[in-house]
Structures are given as structure tokens and as C-alpha cells.
Amino acid sequence: MSGNKGLLDSNVIIDASKGIISAQDIINEYDYIYTSIISYIETQGYNFSDNEEKEIVNQILNSVEVVNLNKDIADIAIDYRKQKKIKLPDALIFATAKHLNADLLTSDISDFQNIDKSVKLVEPKRNDK
């Protein structure tokens, strides 16, 4: 593998817990997988329908590196918020992907479009039901 990196948005982690997308497909695609501390907070605060979903989320979070905020990420997020109308959590998640030079894996591509073309947006393939 080439050392490619992916940053998981909270919606991807939640979708994986519900079986909507395959966490294994993501693991197979990326050498390094991260999530932002923002996505960690969002997923831990999510009201899951059952304990199995919560356990899957915990397994995912325990298997990826959670990236804390720092001044570099904050400065990038500030620039994004000056350029575009973007929610602060989304700006911080997007800035984390930029800081890591990682693809941003999200189910909400529209939240991040036209902000910075150097960050690749990837919508994970949904499982057929």
C-alpha cells in the first residue's frame, strides 16, 4: 500500500454501526485511518437505537487514531470559515483532513463541496439492502 490516509466523518462511523456502509471496505482501502476529536465527540453523543450499534462505534474508534485539535488545524478552519459559510464542527473536521493530507470520508459531500479542492472528498459505497 502507498501510505494513503482517510479521515472518517462522524456520519460514516454511525453509518458503519448501522451496516449502511462497510467499515471493512474502508480498512481495505486506506493504510492510515483517522477521525477528528470533533467526530469522536459527535459519535459518542449520538443516541443509538441499541447497544450493538454503540459497541461497533467503540470498536471503530478504538481502531483509528483520534486527532486532537491544535493551532494549525484551528488556523486552517478559521480560513475556511472566512471563505465559506460552514459550521464550526465541519470546518474543524475539514481542516483536520487538510492538516493530515487525508481524504475526507463523509456521507454528506454537500457539506464540504467547494471549500478546498486539495482535500479529496470520498463518499463510501453503501451496502445494497
Q: Which three cell numbers stand for residue 40?
A: 469522536
pTM surpassing 0.85? yes
Q: Is the CB of residue 3 less than 8 Å from the CB of residue 32?
A: yes
Cα–Cα distance for residue pair 128/125, rounded to 1 Å: 9
Q: Give the model confidence (pLDDT) of 13-48 as tens digits.
A: 999 999 999 988 888 899 999 999 999 999 999 998
Confidence of residue 1 (pLDDT cuts 50, 70, 90): very low
Structural domains in the chain? 5-122 (3.40.50.1010)
**Cα 28 to Cα 48: distance, rounded to the nearest angstrom:** 26
What's the pLDDT at 127?
A: 86
Tell me the three state secondary structure of residue 54.
helix
